[in-house]
Amino acid sequence: MKEIFSISGIDIFQREFNQIMIRGNEHNQLNQIVNKEVSLNLPDKNLQIINNDNILIARHSFDQWNLIYFNDQNYRDVLKLVSNLNSNNQVCASDYSYGQVYFDISGEKKNYYLNKLTHFDLRLKKFPVNTMAQTLIARIDCSIYHLKEKYIITCNKSFEDYFTQRLADSINL
Amino acid sequence: MTALNNNKNSRVTDSNKVSFIFDGKKYFGFDGDTIASALLRNNIKIIGRSFKYHRPRGIYTCGIEEPNALVQILSEKDEPNTRATVKKIYSGIKILSQNRWPSLKNDFGYINNLLSPIFSAGFYYKTFMGPKGFWKNIYEPLIRRSAGLGKPPKEFRSKSIHHHHNVDIVIVGAGLNGLLAASKFIDTDYDVLILEQDNILGGSLNSSQKIKTIDNLDTHVWTKKTEDLLKKSKNIKILKNTLATSYNQINHIIALEDNSVGKPLASHKPELILHKIRTKHTILSNGHIERLISFRNNDLPGIMLAGSFEKYIFRYGVIPEAEPIIFTNNSSTFSLLKSLVDLGCKPKAYIDVRDESSIEKKTKTILKTNKIPFYFSSEIEGCDGNKKLETISIRNKEKQIEKISGTMLCISGGINPDVHLFTQSKGLIKWDEKYLTFKPETAFQNTITIGSANGSFNFKRIIEEINEKLSLFNINELKIDLEIDCPEDLNIMELWETNNEKKSFWSKSFIDIQNDVTTKDLHQAVSEGFDRIEHLKRFTTNSMGTDQGKISSINSLGIVSKILKKNISEVGTTIYRPPYAPLSFSAIAGRSTYEFYDPTRKTSIHSWHVKNRAIFEDVGQWKRPWYFKKNDKETMYEAVQRESKELRNAAGILDGSTLGKIEIKGKDALEFVNLIYTNAFTKMKPMTARYALMLGEDGMIKDDGIVCKINDQHFIVTTTTGGAAKVLSDMEEYAQTEWPHLNVYLNSITEQFSTFNISGPKSRAIMRKVFSDVDFSNDKFPFMSFKKVNYLDTEVRILRASFTGELGYEVYVTPKYGLELWEKFFRYGENLGLIPYGTETMHLLRAEKGYIVVGQDTDGTVTPLDLNLNWMIGKNKKDFIGKRSLSRSDTSRKGRKQLVGILAVDKSKIIEEGQHVVKSSSIPSKIKFPVKYLGHITSSYHSPTLNHYIAMAMVEGGNDLIGKKLYVTQNKSSENISVEIVKPVFLDPENKRLLS
């Protein structure tokens, strides 16, 4: 965990998570596979999140989910899960672990701060806890997950330097 | 007479003295003063020179509508065209007047005024017609040099930022109406954002005494109390110093916050904040703008709008003149008259164009009681004075001219609701015959207009109007008492222009003071046929200044309607376009400048490239090593020649991580891939790969890449770097809309793999060292096959493929180990001559081999047949995207441009990319007939291996021209280069190197 910025009302940390992108149409079948592996059900509503202390599963669209491990996970285990999921020929699972970067943003001013970088409506009534969205933040395609009292933001790793600099720049200005 | 301070009841007091510099001289104002109020306090009336005629100009208004008082702020990076009526002073601010040389008092440019009789409307259009060539070389440079008011800053690095808001309600303007409306939303569920351009709330409550008390409280006390309540309410946010500039579609509002009002620019804070607001409803309570009256020399310093004069008294505590003359056609000036008298000042005269019976009794009583000379049924014929107002000529009710002396004239030609934002939102406005102005009629979006912005000038109806218009929100009714001290009705009489008695070339009756447009120009424009208001505007430049004619555009409509003998509503109105007030480019750009101009993407090896002297090339947003400099002196040409030679002799490694990668999986993945690409994949063995082409539906090449088949249900494909996102989105679209019956899923895995391309005769030896467990022999690892290999706690995919024509491999590894593996290659490969190479070398090497680059050798009009890639088309396939188009008469005809190789007969000649392939040996110096060109050079390089230039070209009927001689044009010579058309494979046509 790397601190990007921590001042009154806003804390930003870069985290190292593992992630799997899952695509498939057979919800029940897929749910059984995933549930067997991680003991969590796939959310059935678009943009909904289901999570426990270790794992988050979000539904991006009608046939797309992603699974994020919050805690240190043996990489071989992650790849094994990808392989297990892919053993079903109606599922496409891809390892997204190190191709993405993860930012943990918390603090009472997090909305004010993030709205310097995104037009997205972060108000609780429009973006409730346990929902996610894909939107532009600092002009970069990001996923934002609303967990209790914090956001997890992910974007492609290639944007890491630019995105981190924009985060710090927005705090400074 | 001199200016006086009003310490009795103003919002700026003399408690904090502030020094400032104007035109090099030090003056003092007070904390809270604008530049204009501070200058008036110091009896400075000339602020600048006019745009065209360089006439001396003073302060005309007290706000954003100011046409005249524009200054340059030297202490703020020379910021030009700053409104003196808005910009607050601070200690040490340095201000310069504009558009004058050598000084404000003695301006050489005033010669334009002397020559003004020839500078009538359309002067430029009519004058600068010839002789030929003069426009470009003489007129335009001259006009450009003399045009403009302030001088733009030469060096300025902005720190403006953007801030986004999503709210339920935006209230524009926190004057009396805005505050009343906002107070209804206190502690409700509505998220409310209030935008106020001033640094204090209250609007007209601060600038006049029209409202005496609100709920029995002094207006300032009530404002403060209301502001406190609004601030305490968690659902309401107030942005001061914030001007709403644009009202776009779907209730999207842009507002500009000045973050440095009354203080110097901070080096570590943004000077401007551009607020981008999405709202459900907008309440426009942005008030009104007073308008002028045109008469002879109505631009002289000392003439000011009456409402603005009153605002200086109460908002800024300066009475610009104790004995001004008032000229009006409506009852709004009662307030100024009464205020002056209450403050112990006595206007020198009160001139009203209305007849005595139309003037309200209260006004007449004050005039009579205070023995103020009163001219009813009268008008001002004109004014005179040397650089400032000295004499006023009044045409009295007997139509006689009376002259009185005076240094300040306050005029009021009526009031316009500020409908700029309303019309920007596409709301419709309608002419109101009673108030002689356009008023909001029908909203196009969720827009509510209240108060004077709605054309409601009667204070008595305010509360009722707000309750009625906000009833849709189901919130509490307002019950507030207002004590009003002004006439209920505006009672306006039409007057746009007075008759001019004095016939002089240099006396002018202005309609647009900023752009020096006179009423005579309007007459002339109409007489020349520009009778449409939009045409007239452009012919005369009326209302086209930075003030957008805020105080005069309705007047010009009035005058034109009189000339045309039509009603104003028939003449029409111009549409107010955003922004409402000038917006600096730095505010629009926000942080998207310099290092943040465009998001940049870097590979996991980027830091290594930087350390090893890589020069980067932007490919899309990616930073790709273009070439690696061996030392500071090495040029790009030398580096590319070196890299190419060393790779062909030993081995080179390229960071190919930026290539697009897509995972395709599903029961019907094979069918999907067969449909997407031209090639046939059905008989392709698992764990093999194929170079593949993707066409558009028009049969033209769209992208290329390598398709790796894991099995019939699972493929991994690569795309070009620039095409990755488009290819994925096209594939997704086809999967979801054209072939929804196919069970297939796609994931972008571009970022999930670092990719290295290792090529050269020594590449196998290096691979063996790095992956010692893998058999890289030709038998076990043939060309276009791939393997998965365990590496640490992950798997690496190795593909035998090449884009250089040499023996080569592509290695795909998780970015977690990207840098580590890259460095490992160098640890094991350095002794074998491994070098890093960049994209330019890659391009050279592939050109030697005749491989194409999509986007360089193709341009969206090239089919696979044009490139002799017929072998890549699965002829037995039932269908693929673009198949039908390949048999169209145009795509299958002979004589299409085809890819060929080009070699200069004199091999030392340089063939330039983009040059034409022609039949003739030279281009005539004077071209009388079009030169037939047969094609163009798509790629050209000096081959270090062959030691001469090689080029590729798309040439008409190219395949039939092999062995023929043609010519290629040159950039700097009319002599063409004699070339031979050859096959586009210059090196190793037998593929010995590739398959070694």
B62-84 pLDDT per residue, tens:
999 999 999 999 998 899 999 99
Question: Does one domain contain both B632 and B758?
Answer: yes
Q: What is the mean pLDDT of residues B331-341?
A: 97
Q: What mean pLDDT, rounded, does chain A reach?
A: 94
- Total of domains in chain B: 5
Q: Considering only the beta carbons, identify the residue of B596, B745, B794 that sits closest to A92.
A: B745
Q: Is residue B692's pLDDT more than 90?
A: yes
B278-303 pLDDT per residue, tens:
999 999 999 999 999 999 999 999 99
CB A92 to CB B664 under 8 A? yes
Question: Does one domain contain both B177 and B263?
Answer: yes
B628-683 pLDDT per residue, tens:
999 999 999 999 999 999 999 999 999 999 999 999 999 999 999 999 999 999 99
Q: Is residue B1's pLDDT more than 70?
A: no
φ/ψ (deg, to 5) at B203: 55, -120
CB A98 to CB B601 under 8 A? no
pLDDT for res B125: 79
CB B793 to CB A75 under 8 A? yes
Q: What is the mean pLDDT of residues B133-149?
A: 83
Report the residue of B158, B164, B667 to disrupt the A interface, i.e. the one with the largest count of A CBs within 10 Å. Answer: B164
Q: Is residue B386's pLDDT more than 80?
A: yes
- Min Cα–Cα distance to chain A from B797, Å: 14
Angstrom distances, CA of residue B900 to CA of B597, B936, B942, B962, B984: 40, 10, 17, 8, 5
How is residue B978 written in tokens? 């004699």
Q: Considering only the beta carbons, identify the residue of A120, A162, A173 that sits closest to B270.
A: A173
Question: Does one domain contain both B253 and B215?
Answer: yes
CB B603 to CB A158 under 8 A? yes
- CATH classification at residue B964: 2.40.30.110
Q: Which chain A residues are closer than 8 Å to B753 by Cβ? A: 99
- Inside any domain, residue B392: no
Instruction: Answer left, alpha or beta for residue B514, where phi above 0 means left and psi between -120 and 50 means alpha.
Output: alpha
Q: For the range A30-39, what are the long-range contacts, defined as Cβ-Cβ under 8 Å and sequence gap of 24 or more?
A: A30/A65, A30/A88, A30/A91, A33/A84, A33/A85, A33/A88, A33/A91, A34/A65, A34/A67, A34/A85, A37/A81, A37/A84, A37/A85, A38/A67, A38/A81
Q: What is the mean pLDDT of residues B495-508?
A: 86
Q: Considering only the beta carbons, identify the residue of B161, B665, B713 that sits closest to A173.
A: B161
Question: Does one domain contain both B706 and B768?
Answer: no
Report the residue of A77, A84, A94 to disrupt the B interface, i.e. the one with the largest count of B CBs within 10 Å. Answer: A94
CB A75 to CB B751 under 8 A? no
Q: Sheet containing B272-278: which strands, arranged edge to edge?
A: B161-166, B272-278, B252-258, B242-248
Q: What is the mean pLDDT of residues B957-963?
A: 96
CB A121 to CB B278 under 8 A? yes
Q: Which chain A residues are closer than 8 Å to B732 by Cβ? A: none
CB B161 to CB A119 under 8 A? no
CB-defined contacts A:B, below 8 A? 120
- Inside any domain, residue B431: yes
How is residue B159 written in tokens? 């720190």
Q: Find the range with the poorest average confidence among B192-201, B587-596, B679-688.
A: B587-596
pLDDT for res B765: 98
B3-17 pLDDT per residue, tens:
999 888 889 988 899
Domains and CATH numbers, chain A: 2-14+100-172 (3.30.1360.120), 18-95 (3.30.70.1520)
CB B814 to CB A97 under 8 A? yes
Question: Does one domain contain both B647 and B664?
Answer: no
Q: What is the mean pLDDT of residues A90-108?
A: 96
Q: Is residue B41's pLDDT more than 70?
A: yes
How is residue B425 written in tokens? 């939102």
Q: How far apart are CA B814 and CA B987, in angstroms?
A: 34
Q: What is the mean pLDDT of residues B23-36?
A: 97
Q: Find the range with the poorest average confidence among B341-355, B903-917, B923-937.
A: B923-937
Question: Does one domain contain both B775 and B904?
Answer: no
CB B747 to CB A21 under 8 A? yes
pLDDT band at B982 (very low <50, low <70, confident <90, very high): very high
Q: How far apart are CA B546 and CA B515, in angstroms?
A: 9
Q: Considering only the beta carbons, identify the residue of A92, A97, A100 that sits closest to B665.
A: A92
B396-441 pLDDT per residue, tens:
999 999 999 999 999 999 999 999 999 999 999 999 999 999 999 9
Q: Which chain B residues are closer than 8 Å to A138 by Cβ? A: 599
Q: Considering only the beta carbons, identify the residue of A86, A98, A123 that sits closest to B665.
A: A86
Question: Does one domain contain both B687 and B829?
Answer: no
Q: What is the mean pLDDT of residues A124-149?
A: 97
- Inside any domain, residue B35: no
Report the residue of B601, B671, B715, B736 to disrupt the A interface, i.e. the one with the largest count of A CBs within 10 Å. Answer: B601
Q: What is the mean pLDDT of residues A129-141?
A: 97
Residue of A nearest to B275 (CA): A116
Could you say which of B442, B472, B489 is where a domain stops?
B489
- CATH classification at residue B195: 3.50.50.60
Question: Does one domain contain both B800 and B942?
Answer: no
pLDDT for res B123: 82
Secondary structure percentages of chain A, helix, strand, coil, to 5: 25, 40, 35
Range of the domain at B973: 893-982
- Inside any domain, residue B787: yes
CB B602 to CB A160 under 8 A? yes
Q: What mean pLDDT, rounded, does chain B reach?
A: 95
Question: Does one domain contain both B707 and B721?
Answer: yes
Q: Which chain A residues are closer than 8 Å to B163 by Cβ? A: 115-116
Q: What is the mean pLDDT of residues B682-705?
A: 97
CB B752 to CB A94 under 8 A? yes
Q: Which chain A residues are closer than 8 Å to B713 by Cβ? A: 89
pLDDT for res B118: 82
CB A126 to CB B166 under 8 A? yes
- Inside any domain, residue B637: yes
Q: How far apart are CA A172 and CA B897, in angstroms?
A: 56
Q: Is residue B262's pLDDT more than 90?
A: yes
- Min Cα–Cα distance to chain A from B666, Å: 5
- CATH classification at residue B711: 3.30.70.1400
Q: How far apart are CA B746 and CA B731, in angstroms?
A: 8
- What is the SS3 assignment for B773? coil
Asked if B412 and B491 count as a contact pair (C-beta separation under 8 A), the reply is no
Q: Which chain B residues are closer than 8 Å to A24 by Cβ? A: 745
- Inside any domain, residue B907: yes
Q: Is residue B267's pLDDT more than 60?
A: yes
Kindly give the pairing relationship between strand A140-147 and strand A150-156.
antiparallel
Question: Does one domain contain both B759 and B734?
Answer: no
Could you say which of B489, B513, B547 is where a domain stops?
B489
B535-591 pLDDT per residue, tens:
999 999 999 888 999 999 999 999 999 999 999 888 877 778 999 999 988 999 999
Question: Does one domain contain both B619 and B765?
Answer: yes
DSSP state of B44: -
Q: Which chain B residues are closer than 8 Å to A161 by Cβ? A: 600, 602, 606
pLDDT band at B158 (very low <50, low <70, confident <90, very high): confident
Q: Find the range with the poorest average confidence among B455-459, B570-574, B794-798.
A: B570-574
B704-725 pLDDT per residue, tens:
999 999 999 999 999 999 999 9
Q: Which chain A residues are closer than 8 Å to B607 by Cβ? A: none
- Inside any domain, residue B849: no
Question: Does one domain contain both B642 and B668?
Answer: no
* Percent of chain B's residues with pLDDT above 70: 100
Q: Considering only the beta carbons, identify the residue of A96, A119, A173 that sits closest to B278.
A: A119
Could you say which of B750, B768, B793 is where a domain stops?
B750
- Min Cα–Cα distance to chain A from B601, Å: 5
